[in-house]
A and B are shown apart, each in its own frame.
Chain A
Amino acid sequence: MTRIYVPRDSSALSLGAEKVAKAIAEHAARNNVAVEIIRNGSRGMFWLEPLVEVETPAGRIAYGPVEVSDVPGLFAAGFLEGGAHALRLGLTDELPWLKQQERLTFARVGITDPVSLTDYLAHDGYRGLQNALALQPAEIVQEVTDSGLRGRGGAAFPTGIKWKTVHDCKADQKYIVCNADEGDSGTYSDRMIMEGDPFVLIEGMTIAALAVGATQGYIYLRSEYPHALAVLNEAIQHAREKHYLGPNILGSGHAFELEVRRAAGAYVCGEETSLLESLEGKRGLVRFKPPLPAIEGLFGKPTVVNNVISFASVPIILDKGGAFYRDYGMGRSRGTLPIQLAGNIKHGGLVEKAFGVTLRQLLYDFGGGSATGRPIRAVQVGGPLGAYLPESQFDTPLDYEEFSKLWAVLGHGGIVAFDDTVDMAKMARYAFEFCAIESCGKCTPCRIGSTRGVEVMDKIMQGRDHAQNIALVRDLSDTMLNGSLCALGGMTPYPVLSAINHFPEDFGLNKKAQAA
Chain B
Amino acid sequence: MLPEQAARIDAHITAHKALPGGLLPLLHAIQDDVGYVPEESYGSISKALNLSVAEIHGVVTFYHHFRTHPPGRHVIQICRAESCQSMGSTELEAHAKATLGIDYHQTTSDGSITLEPVYCLGNCACSPAITVDEEVYGRVSPNRLDAIIAEAKGVA
Contacts and interface: CB of A to CB of B under 8 A. Distances in A.
A186 B84 CA distance: 9
B25 A262 contact: yes
Interface in A274-319: 278-284, 299
Nearest to A269: B63
Contact of B125 (A183, A349, A430): A349
Contacts of A49: 126
B77 to A, nearest CB: 9
B124 A186 contact: yes
B25 A11 contact: no
Contacts, number: 149
A389 interface: no
Contact of A188 (B24, B27, B125): B125
B81 interface: yes
A418 B131 CA distance: 23
Contacts of B136: 10-11, 13-14
B83 A266 contact: no
B81 A185 contact: yes
Interface string B76-99: 000001111111000000000000
A41 to B, nearest CB: 13
B121 interface: yes
B58 interface: yes
Contacts of A222: 122
Nearest to A266: B63
A417 B125 CA distance: 10
A302 B139 CA distance: 43
Contacts of A11: 122-123, 125-126, 136, 138
Given A14-B136, A14-B137, A281-B22, A430 B85 contact: yes
B115 interface: no
A222 B27 CA distance: 15
Interface string A42-70: 00001101000000000000000000000
B12 to A, nearest CB: 14
B108 to A, nearest CB: 22
Contact of A283 (B25, B58, B83, B87): B58
A417 B136 CA distance: 22
A416 B122 contact: no
Contacts of A75: none
A47 B139 CA distance: 10
B20 interface: yes
A360 interface: no
B24 A343 contact: no
Contact of A344 (B21, B87, B129): B87
B127 interface: yes
Interface string B15-50: 000001111110110000000000000000000010
A182 B123 CA distance: 12
B124 A284 contact: no
B4 interface: no
Interface in A144-190: 182-188, 190
Interface stretch (A223-231, A456-464, A485-493): A223-231
Given A182-B122, A185-B124, A281 B23 contact: yes
A64 B10 CA distance: 49
Given A14-B137, A281-B24, A342 B64 contact: no
B86 A418 contact: yes
Contacts of A224: 118, 120-122, 131
B130 to A, nearest CB: 9
Nearest to B86: A343
Interface in B98-129: 118-127, 129
Contacts of B131: 224
Contacts of A349: 125
A281 B82 contact: no
B81 A384 contact: yes
B11 interface: no
Contacts of B137: 14
Contacts of B82: 185-186, 343, 380, 384, 416, 427, 430
A188 B122 contact: yes
B138 A185 contact: no
A282 B122 CA distance: 25
B138 A283 contact: no
Given A11-B138, A185-B120, 10 more contacts: A10-B123, A182-B122, A261-B24, A263-B63, A265-B63, A266-B65, A281-B59, A282-B55, A343-B87, A345-B125
Interface of B: 20-25, 27-28, 49, 55, 58-59, 62-66, 81-87, 118-127, 129, 131, 134-139
Q: 9 nearest interchain CB pairs?
A: A348-B125, A264-B63, A281-B23, A185-B81, A342-B124, A265-B65, A14-B138, A46-B125, A343-B86
26 contacts: A11-B136, A13-B135, A15-B126, A46-B126, A183-B119, A185-B124, A186-B124, A187-B122, A190-B122, A223-B28, A224-B121, A226-B134, A264-B28, A264-B66, A279-B24, A282-B23, A284-B63, A341-B125, A342-B124, A343-B82, A343-B127, A371-B87, A380-B82, A416-B83, A418-B86, A438-B119
